[in-house]
Amino acid sequence: MLSQPISVSFDLGGGREVFIETGKLARQADGAVTVRQGNCVILATVVANKDPKEGQDFFPLSVDYQEKFAAAGRIPGSFFKREARLNDYEILTSRLIDRALRPLFPEDYFCDVQVLLSLVSSDAEVLPDSLACLAASAALAVSDIPIKEIISEVRVGRINGQFVINPTRTELESSDLEFIIAATEKNLMMVEGEAKECDEADLIRALELAHDAIRIQIKAQAELRTKKGVTTKRDYKKPEHNEVIRQGVYSFAKDKVYEISRKGSAKHDRSDAYSVLKDELIASFGEEITDADKKLVKKYYEDLKWEVVRNMILEDRIRLDGRKLDEVRPLAMEVDPLPTPHGSSLFTRGETQSLTTVTFGTALDDLLIESAAKSVDSKFYLHYNFPPFSTGEVKMMRGQSRREVGHGNLAMRSLKQMMPKGEYPYTVRVVSDILESNGSSSMATVCAGSLALMDAGVPVPKHVSGVAMGLITREDGKYAILTDILGDEDHLGDMDFKVTGTRDGICGVQMDIKVDGLSMDVMREALEQARKGRLHILDAMYECMPAARPEVKPHAPRMIKLIIDKEFIGAVIGPGGKVIQEIQRETGTTINIEEVGNTGEVSIFSAAKEGLDKAVAWVRGIAAVPQVGDVYEGPVKGIKEFGAFVEFMPGKQGLLHISEISWKRLESMDGLFKEGDMVKVKLVGLDPKTGKFKLSRKALMPRPEGGGRQEAPAEN
């Protein structure tokens, strides 16, 4: 017999009620809830092992969000007709939840934790990703897994100047900014989103409104936990600690770590020096040291480096590579480094480098983005590749990682703000290959992508650049904001904050906060410092490529989009596709036709201008409406005793009556024309009975003297 479920609810605003329920489904999980808004239902479960694996020294959290196609009454389109590996949208949603949850667990908690979320019922207007983190947190809240706090997550949009919490799908289409924000009762934890050049004050306002809405959701989760009777959290095995060894590590290595850190050396030189010191440190404990103690030495050594470098930056205002806190590393960039791609650029910032290409395609190359609720085609997409050699490592190449999906998505969302809309005919693919990495390769991708788009001749109006910010704080209130952080600074900092944008505003944001009590004043200061860093990089980008090329490169394919009346779509395609296949075969083009409202969009794609022009004329001829009085030229298609049939426009024939061939009276058609002859004619009328076109050749000839009109023979 099922137990009686426990539920709570809260209002999102505007009468939109959200229900959280536990105790009915998945009762063997450590924690399980359903979250429902409208017809959207998400099932979240969480299970944690009681003990960590032997030798485990990191926190193994896994989060998987998946949408069941049955939730929207659909069957998957794959060969196996079942849900397979997570798609990019599901991976991105999983990452949003993971990044928000991870800081909730104690630093010494190393037990495996698995969070699984399933969309089991879909609502056409409710976006499930804005509810997924709420569901995951609620599942943890009603379990005995030792989390420190409850969190939640909301989306903020701005529609017609008004901020809206968790806007509907329809509302979001007209929103000029979109941020997903996660927070605890007191602190922001994660921010990700995009905007059409919003200013820093808009972002701050969105964060404040989101935090107010999140507090309501946290209160509901706490109420659910109380109703369920969860009052304690499970105990867990703590990692071993040896104060004697820790003191030995600090006394031997503290000053030496400081000397290495303040030299301002390059990444690999610094890494090598740290490695040599580690070996000397281990040797100082003698040959009798056990493997367990050696592991503790290595752990305390990493803790020491974290502490020394942070204090060095806070006290001495010195960074690992010798830069000032607000200084961007040296920049080098060029466009068109590769001869064959349709657009390319090489962007280097310090020890981070991106080689980026742009490729043009047709509508057949659109990216299908599929979810349970709907499937849409995207004309612009970006792929980000992070090979192991970029960091001097050897790793197995096993396909795209979640990190690569997330970094590529941030760059894509940022550049998308400047992409041409409406009638732009091309599908555009951007690929960023990271060749070197020491801090924020995703921001290098944004800069390289902007340069490559302009190099390709994509009419983007402005450059977009990006910069990664860091923050180091201490309990005494001292803090340091770092511009253009290194990889090591990302690891040891309290905030990783990436901001992209133009000279006029923010286009993209990704932020992870690892510290409690981050004030809005510090956030404003970080945003202003990020703006200055972004503008510095933009100045260099404009020097390299001031504006987009006026047209695509000679070797790039040409494309023209024609808008025709809906009634002509069938004529262009022809019976069984005969006409469109003939056009493509004869002109060497690729043609795609899409019905949009009451019109047809015909995209013609070709590598050769001559073939493109020929196909354009052909389609225009088919779709054109003949105008009485216009002059045309076309081949003779058939000859009868009473005249000739001329194809004066593609697919349109008219009768050139024997009486309209010449001002001279003709007795027969013998020897006048043969099939295939080109004849210039004038459209003089439309037969009211048959609807056939009436053509004249003599109307284009000088009238003979006397102006006499000869009688024409009767039509047979």
- Return binding residues for Mg(2+): 490, 496
CA distance 481 to 470: 6
Nearest-5° Cα angle at 639, 711 to 694 = 55
- Residue 689: alpha-carbon gap to chain centroid: 58
Tokens of 531: 């703006």
Tokens of 379: 């004309």
CA distance 182 to 360: 37
CA distance 330 to 445: 16
Return the closest-CA partner of residue 468 out of 487, 448, 492: 487
Q: What share of the chain is helix, strand, coil (3-state, %, to 5)?
A: 35, 30, 35
Return the closest-CA partner of residue 389 out of 433, 350, 444, 448: 433
Return the closest-CA partner of residue 260 out of 285, 282, 280: 280
- Residue 611: alpha-carbon gap to chain centroid: 34
**294 neighbors 278 (Cβ within 8 angstroms):** no
Distances 21 to 63, 122, 179, 227, 400 between C-alpha atoms, Å = 20, 17, 27, 11, 36
Which neighbouring-strand residues pair with 346?
334, 355
Which neighbouring-strand residues pair with 618?
none
CA distance 570 to 600: 10
DSSP letter (8 states) at residue 33: E
CA distance 533 to 326: 7
Burial class (CB in 10 A: 0-12, 13-18, 19+), 521: exposed
For helices 520-544 and 200-228, angle between their N-to-C axes, nearest 10 degrees: 130
CA distance 194 to 506: 8
Distances 91 to 48, 54, 86, 383, 408 between C-alpha atoms, Å = 21, 29, 6, 14, 12
Return the closest-CA partner of residue 138 out of 61, 253, 33, 58: 33
Q: How much is the CA Rg of the chain, to the nearest whole Å?
A: 34
Q: Binding-site residues, please?
A: 490, 496
Neighbours of 576 (CB within 10 A): 8
Residue 38, phi-psi category: left (phi > 0), alpha (psi -120 to 50), beta (remainder): left
CA distance 312 to 333: 32
- Residue 437: alpha-carbon gap to chain centroid: 21
Return the closest-CA partner of residue 297 out of 277, 278, 317: 278
